[in-house]
Amino acid sequence: MIILGIESSCDETAAAVVENGRQIRSSVIASQVETHAQYGGVVPELASRMHIEAIEPVVDKAVCDAGISLDRIDGIAATRGPGLIGALLVGFSFAKALAWARNLPLAGVNHLEAHIYSLLLLEKPPQFPFIALVVSGGHTNIYHVASPHQFELLGQTRDDAAGEAFDKVSKMMGLGYPGGPVIERLANAGDPGRIKFPRSMLEKESLDFSFSGLKSSVARYIHLNPEMDEEQQADVAAGFQAAVIDVLSKKLIRAARLKKCRQIGIAGGVSANQTFVNELKKRAGNHRIKVFSPPLSLCGDNAAMIAARGFTMIRNNDLCTPDQDVFSRSRI
């Protein structure tokens, strides 16, 4: 079964063709990062307009790159949410119209479930059950994934998501957007132990997250040290990053031990942070827990993960009806 996936939840217009939920035949992403960088973050109205301009050529290229025609497509999967409503409407409406015109089944995919499915696109994916962390600019959620359709939410952020914290700290330091890559590069030149920022673990045994206190602590340090040189900036970045990684790693290992899982998967934009991946692998290895992370091409928002999740939904007849619409927030 060949599925066309469409993703437009934030600032990437993406389309992909995936066969049998596993083989990526094409994946095309039109990023808006350079446009939004001048504003220090995503401007929703601008994002929606750029999706409108990009959606048709991106889908055409994905189909062309797959070496097929639209006649070979067996079903369509598109992101319904969560995300920016205006952005979501562009991709989902396009998918609805295409599915109706060609009489194809349509799956409305939950973006968070799809990130977990990016792990199932690995050559050697984690085996069920496993612990999954979806960590990005908008989400920091831990799930117990018991099967392809069973996702139990174990913990989530109560304020800023981890990726959002990276973006805000980067903005405070005048480093630009997106914050994750630039903070990691700067942190590589710093000493993570020189500035000790707080780690919020919340209540005992809690698997929830809170990064607002850490963000405020970094803001206070910057306010008290307005004339930082490059070495100090690198130490701030390293100290901040170390605090985020420490909390994420401890909570993930706690979740794995609680659920007696020997495998952890991390997905979403922050999973591209190799300092985090390497540190988690080292700590998890001490507990004989294996860590899985997607390649960089599948860490951020992409349509291959949407198609992979859509494949299982279409196969199980979990389809969208014409009256269904997008949504901005959800829990799985």
In a domain, 320, yes or no: no
Question: How much is the pTM?
Answer: 0.95
CATH number of the domain residue 289 falls in: 3.30.420.40
The pLDDT assigned to 298 comes to 97
CB burial of residue 48 (10 Å; 0-12, 13-18, 19+)? middle
Q: In the numeric block, which tokens belong to residue 150?
A: 């069973």
Q: Judge if 78 and 159 occupy the same domain.
A: no
Distance CA 152, CA 322 (A): 28
Residue 133: pLDDT band (50, 70, 90) is: very high
The β-bridge relationship of strands 150-156 and 12-19 is: unpaired
Q: In the numeric block, which tokens belong to residue 93?
A: 């409406």
The pLDDT assigned to 331 comes to 62
The pLDDT assigned to 189 comes to 97
Q: Judge if 266 and 305 occupy the same domain.
A: no
Phi, psi values for residue 3, rounded to 5°: -115, 135
In a domain, 324, yes or no: no
- Beta bridge mates, 157: 209
Q: How far is CA 78 from the centre of its chain?
A: 16
Q: Judge if 83 and 229 occupy the same domain.
A: no
Give the angle subtended at the CA of 251 by the CAs of 250 and 255, to the nearest 5°. 120
Furthest C-alpha separation in the chain: 63
In a domain, 165, yes or no: yes
In a domain, 248, yes or no: yes
pLDDT surpassing 90 at residue 137: no
Distance CA 274, CA 161 (A): 18
Q: Judge if 308 and 287 occupy the same domain.
A: no
What's the mean per-residue pLDDT of the chain? 96
pLDDT surpassing 80 at residue 332: no
The pLDDT assigned to 313 comes to 98
How many percent of the chain have pLDDT more than 90? 94
Amino acid making up residue 220 = R
| Contact assessment for residue 238 and residue 182, using Cβ atoms and an 8 Å cutoff | no
Count: domains in the chain? 2
pLDDT for 36-91, tens place per residue?
Answer: 988 888 999 999 999 999 999 999 999 999 999 999 999 999 999 999 999 999 99
pLDDT for 213-225, tens place per residue?
Answer: 999 999 999 999 9
Show the domain range for 111.
2-115+299-315
How many percent of the chain have pLDDT more than 70? 99
Q: Judge if 52 and 157 occupy the same domain.
A: no
| Contact assessment for residue 268 and residue 161, using Cβ atoms and an 8 Å cutoff | no
- What is the H or E stretch that residue 297 is in? helix 296-299
Distance CA 74, CA 313 (A): 13
Phi, psi values for residue 2, rounded to 5°: -105, 120
As a whole number, mean pLDDT of residues 11-25 equals: 97
pLDDT for 153-189, tens place per residue?
Answer: 999 999 999 999 999 999 999 999 999 999 999 999 9
As a whole number, mean pLDDT of residues 147-156 equals: 96
Q: Judge if 287 and 177 occupy the same domain.
A: yes
Q: Judge if 138 and 94 occupy the same domain.
A: no
Distance CA 255, CA 204 (A): 13
In a domain, 120, yes or no: no
In a domain, 325, yes or no: no
In a domain, 328, yes or no: no
Q: Judge if 180 and 268 occupy the same domain.
A: yes
Q: At what angle do helices 162-172 and 179-187 cross, to 10 degrees?
A: 70
The pLDDT assigned to 322 comes to 84
For 71, residues 6+ apart whose C-beta sits below 8 A from its C-beta are none
pLDDT surpassing 90 at residue 126: yes
| Contact assessment for residue 195 and residue 183, using Cβ atoms and an 8 Å cutoff | no
As a whole number, mean pLDDT of residues 241-257 equals: 98
pLDDT surpassing 90 at residue 21: yes
Q: Judge if 22 and 105 occupy the same domain.
A: yes
Give the CA distances from residue 315 to residues 3, 71, 80, 106, 116, in Å, rounded to whole numbers and listed in that order. 11, 19, 18, 11, 18
The pLDDT assigned to 66 comes to 98
Q: Judge if 38 and 10 occupy the same domain.
A: yes
Q: In the numeric block, which tokens belong to residue 202?
A: 């919340």
pLDDT surpassing 90 at residue 204: no
In a domain, 259, yes or no: yes
Amino acid making up residue 154 = L
pLDDT for 251-302, tens place per residue?
Answer: 999 999 999 999 999 999 999 999 999 999 999 999 999 999 999 999 999 9
Q: Judge if 76 and 134 occupy the same domain.
A: no
pLDDT surpassing 90 at residue 208: yes
Q: In the numeric block, which tokens belong to residue 221?
A: 């340090």
Torsion, Cα 212 215 220 222, to 10 degrees, reads -170
Q: Judge if 169 and 269 occupy the same domain.
A: yes
